Structure 1
């Protein structure tokens, strides 16, 4: 093992081992096929994740080797015992992780670690670290600091005035995406938060990255997360006037808002050849040189400009345009405008001076484009954006690896599979949707896109000193057609319906606010919060507590009994797969100050796509099985092992290969059966 000097860990969020094996067999993942055939894995390519099967929790395990009870990241969002039950804490933050990370022990050994958008890595926790951190706070880098939101811009000669319908800023994160304007809801002053909900549910002076829990009743946050989140602009198409630049005689102009409505840019449609309008050229104003142009069916290059914010400060930004349609006679059409990226931001890069260097080498990153996802147009533009997004990640990864001769560890996290499965998986099997084949194909295409990232990393194994690990945090499973969550379990907040029906939670609608509820803590004995936890509103522990400590155990058992007895009102089937006291849940690696009083999981027909059921649950040809492929120096070649690989085993195995101290809080074991020279005997 001493010959192994470096390790690459590619984290493919939500990559389902079942689908990876299927697509390899179909010949659609040539790079991962090469890793499988030249490396080592279980025969099903699987790995057992930790509870719950959710992004921050499992990636925290895959970088610490610890169970959630130890590392403290217990769901998509966190809650700390002793705070108001109405308060949640944002994860994707290394400060929430109470365990040593693998990159910290590699640095101790004199081996630089490179972190490219690895979940839970940001911010750097070691003073004067030589490690390199590129974001790690969301599904894609820099989503928390975009300068403007994505837009679909319709232009038409019949429109009388400019109209904008802004996207809805929802606190829900059920598809795992957190945008910058959602983060603002985690940092708004406490006195402003109080204005959102009746009766002041929250403590004063909340620190950043905390928020009031989203209270859910007769409302589907899971579905809301899949609605269009895009600004819609309707702009009159007019003859050009007041231009200082000569335009073609047949040119027509429309304007579109930028910089969150503070400024307007201009677009000119024209004919490149022939008699039909087919080109749009973009300008910052009527005096400026063109920012760029594109034809129908094409993306523009990056359009570089500057915005002036409300404080009067100027910032450099860039965005792209995708020309969707122009009528041949030039009377109407529409274009897609990407999220606008800050090009000089260093807020989420360490060291900060690396930010400009990375921008110069790789350019801005194009975020995914999501709107009208079941249409051919929406589907096409979504997948084009993911392909470009992946190309940026390849450029960034190769630049980081090639730049530093002293690197010993590269960790990255790619989130596109998770997003696409959230948006399509419940409509991707026969009988679920009229376009189920197209939806399934879209999922397959996302796996193919990330196979090109794997292909880009394979040449780094040629030195004979580098090991490659490809993992995932979980898979996803759909609900059966016609099945829905009856109102228990959500990543984003407090789900009230089932607990209200059972008589444990008392909630009321906020007057004049659709789908906004508040909890009457004076009458609430227990709540269901986040994906998998029931909290007793306990006197002496919780600020609003009403349950006497002597009644605690009996109440816990009664709630567990009621959960098992609860039946879905539509289908009459049991909703809860199992429920455990926290004493029992310790056997699953679940517990600690960031968990509730009861841990439970749902039958897959009633949950969201992940987080509410364990690894190895299957439904309709999909599974929650995490992925683990290993290849390269120090590892067996072309073998399947019988050992059950667990997420906690990844870190100690990488450390053993590279002769680096295993992190202090690690609870997994070295996968010796995967190592060269180790025989796995059969009896």
Structure 2
């Protein structure tokens, strides 16, 4: 094969959850001028779409984009990995050692190309090559850089008023660590389960990380505990257990504080008002002054470590998000942390205040930066990682005032980081990931249609909020346009799109755990009952023939394979046939419509690349019209408000035809071999796709 380079420099701008249908519409409406420029200078399909891998879930799709292999081949087959010991449990999955296929970044460094892999979730961490040309930042969760390991304190809102009598702290309540697919404390998630430990210092030294990093935390990423232990059991029994319900509920600490005239301060201005609040899970005090602005109204909040402090550590004007470093304490350990602040409401007379305070990110945590010098360089030359908010959901004011603006700050920071590193470090290849659209999707996309569970929300409000994240993304992508004039090739890709559901989905296909609803109705899964006859979160394995777990998988409770198996292997084929038939006949109770799209045995699921030992005995999808956000249906699924589950593909720059529209069906497995052809490298060993030769400016 001709390995002539068609470009010397390649940037992949990955946007998690970006939907080509929404992007195409907004381009045509003139709302996404930078994406339009990429199209004018590059190639895409008319609809900007490609066919994604299945399931349409973040880790398997990003791994497919990096390897050119289908999930059944590379082995990352859902957000979670099936527990090897229990049919009703999952274990953490974003670990490169679970990937059985060769990633493109190992190929590029082998070809002497300095390569940066920035927050690519699913298969990039820990680095699987010792080549010093490979630099990797995070990739252990999709939210924002360091989100999974550096959080020291939760988000909070301070409610201060002259009518409040005393200081009180109400901690947030949450069902899982993080919102949707954003795991914010993996240590807490996994350490709640029994598991064995062993020293990981030797493995840590292999990857060049700080030797004084917490051994237990490192074990979660590198040891057998992360791969085989740390079982997580989540039973999805009804709508209240689904991500849509949980993710839309706002979880944050609440602090109530009295406002009164400032007294006993070292440096309080005249007429200043004071309040106090608690951070670090309610264990540490901070103090605030409310002062007048130039108009003579109370319009500025200043925060202090103590009343005796000579100066504040943060000064917050109305209407601005301010990001500063302050200490936070967790489990007796105190770290300097980056934190953001915004005034949500302040009465002109200073009698009422609502103040948002972000989560706290440990500024010293570099355990997911390889080499750690990249972390040091970013902090020195660009700045600390700005925390993103994870609250909003059904509270549209918080989405408007906090959630979206915090992501705007993060997008600017990430663009600053990538530009600085590209300009100063001499990378030939950069693969990057941004999670703003997907994070928003898991909180608010389902509110884009007014359905019964959310009848108190206005769909038009949320549709407008949804579009703001595309405007934000267009601005981000625009930061890299100038590289097209500097000899770079740029690919814009996503793992999947996000659709607005047409109906409330059945209790089937929720990726976060064991789905019991439909399988109980059909008689395949049986839960144990308590003394009052209520279903418990415990499977009755003596009566359970099959379970549905993760997004699209059904497992037979098989004798000889599963710990409590009751199905004779000789009966497995017939039982699969019965389950598939029952799934096709199952009807939604309110509409009478079929809710299962396709159902295939493992051997037949090779047609979708969802076969093999890491997949279930049956792979199924939810029928279009009953899909949740993404993950449960086909990549071709479409939804309300002109949305879809398909991923985006746009290519521009050196080696790519300009202003070109291809009719070719592009698949995610085609992206890696196309990168290989552009860079003149060999194609990864397990790659199953083919170069998108139609968009190349020179024939192969």
Distance in 1 (alpha carbons) for counterparts of 2:438 and 2:330? 34
Structure 2 contact 34–478 (Cα < 8 Å) conserved: yes
Distance in 2 (alpha carbons) for counterparts of 1:393 and 1:323? 24
In the alignment, structure 1 residue 441 sits paired with structure 2 residue 447: no
Equivalence for 2:271: 250
Distance in 2 (alpha carbons) for counterparts of 1:284 and 1:97? 47
Query: Partner of 1:171: helix, strand, or coil?
Result: coil
In the alignment, structure 1 residue 215 sits paired with structure 2 residue 235: yes
Query: Partner of 2:652: helix, strand, or coil?
Result: strand
Moved more, 109-118 or 209-218: 209-218
Equivalence for 1:287: 308
Q: 1:274 to 1:627 in 2, by over 3 A?
A: closer
Structure 1 contact 79–89 (Cα < 8 Å) conserved: yes
Q: Which runs of 5+ in 1 are unaligned?
A: 193-204
Equivalence for 2:85: 83
Equivalence for 2:110: 108
Query: Partner of 1:175: helix, strand, or coil?
Result: coil
Moved more, 515-524 or 105-114: 515-524
Q: How many residues align?
A: 657
Moved more, 212-221 or 320-329: 212-221
Equivalence for 1:467: 489
Equivalence for 1:152: 157
1:432-511 correspondence runs (5 A):
435-464=458-487, 466-480=488-502, 483-508=503-528
1:186-237 CA-partner distances (Å, limit 9, x unpaired): 2334189xxxxxxxxxxxx981363222012133322112211221221222
1:172-321 correspondence runs (5 A):
175-180=180-185, 183-190=187-194, 207-208=225-226, 210-218=230-238, 219-222=240-243, 223-243=245-265, 245-288=266-309, 289-300=311-322, 302-311=323-332, 313-321=333-341
Structure 1 contact 149–338 (Cα < 8 Å) conserved: yes
1:10-49 correspondence runs (5 A):
10-49=13-52
Equivalence for 1:635: 656
Equivalence for 1:68: 71
1:125-165 CA-partner distances (Å, limit 9, x unpaired): 22353322121122211111211111111111222222222
Structure 1 contact 215–493 (Cα < 8 Å) conserved: yes
Q: 1:26 to 1:509 in 2, by over 3 A?
A: farther
Query: Partner of 1:208: helix, strand, or coil?
Result: helix
Q: 1:618 to 1:168 in 2, by over 3 A?
A: same
In the alignment, structure 1 residue 589 sits paired with structure 2 residue 591: no
1:600-627 CA-partner distances (Å, limit 9, x unpaired): 0011332321111112221221112211
In the alignment, structure 1 residue 163 sits paired with structure 2 residue 168: yes
Distance in 2 (alpha carbons) for counterparts of 1:414 and 1:373? 23
Q: 1:190 to 1:315 in 2, by over 3 A?
A: same
How far off is 1:377 after superposition? 4.8
Query: Partner of 2:525: helix, strand, or coil?
Result: coil
Superposition TM-score, scaled by structure 2 size: 0.90
How far off is 1:168 after superposition? 2.1
1:464-502 CA-partner distances (Å, limit 9, x unpaired): 3x211001111122222xx31221121110010111111
Distance in 2 (alpha carbons) for counterparts of 1:533 and 1:42? 31
How far off is 1:308 after superposition? 4.5
1:367-382 correspondence runs (5 A):
367-369=387-389, 370-371=391-392, 373-382=394-403
Equivalence for 1:200: none
How far off is 1:528 after superposition? 0.4
Distance in 2 (alpha carbons) for counterparts of 1:59 and 1:316? 33
In the alignment, structure 1 residue 623 sits paired with structure 2 residue 644: yes
Poorly superposed stretches of 4+, deviation over 4 Å: 429-434, 509-512
Query: Partner of 1:644: helix, strand, or coil?
Result: coil
Equivalence for 1:327: 347
Structure 1 contact 510–517 (Cα < 8 Å) conserved: no
Structure 1 contact 172–221 (Cα < 8 Å) conserved: no
In the alignment, structure 1 residue 394 sits paired with structure 2 residue 415: yes
How far off is 1:178 after superposition? 1.2
Moved more, 15-24 or 437-446: 437-446
How far off is 1:378 after superposition? 3.5
Q: Which runs of 5+ in 2 are unaligned?
A: 197-222
How far off is 1:393 after superposition? 0.8
Distance in 1 (alpha carbons) for counterparts of 2:666 and 2:417? 30
Query: Partner of 2:298: helix, strand, or coil?
Result: coil
How far off is 1:380 after superposition? 2.9
Query: Partner of 2:257: helix, strand, or coil?
Result: strand
Distance in 1 (alpha carbons) for counterparts of 2:94 and 2:535? 27
Query: Partner of 1:99: helix, strand, or coil?
Result: coil
Distance in 1 (alpha carbons) for counterparts of 2:226 and 2:289? 43
Structure 1 contact 11–413 (Cα < 8 Å) conserved: yes
How far off is 1:379 after superposition? 1.8
In the alignment, structure 1 residue 358 sits paired with structure 2 residue 362: no
Q: 1:454 to 1:290 in 2, by over 3 A?
A: same
Structure 1 contact 341–364 (Cα < 8 Å) conserved: no
How far off is 1:397 after superposition? 0.7
Query: Partner of 1:207: helix, strand, or coil?
Result: helix
Distance in 1 (alpha carbons) for counterparts of 2:260 and 2:672? 61
Distance in 2 (alpha carbons) for counterparts of 1:343 and 1:159? 34
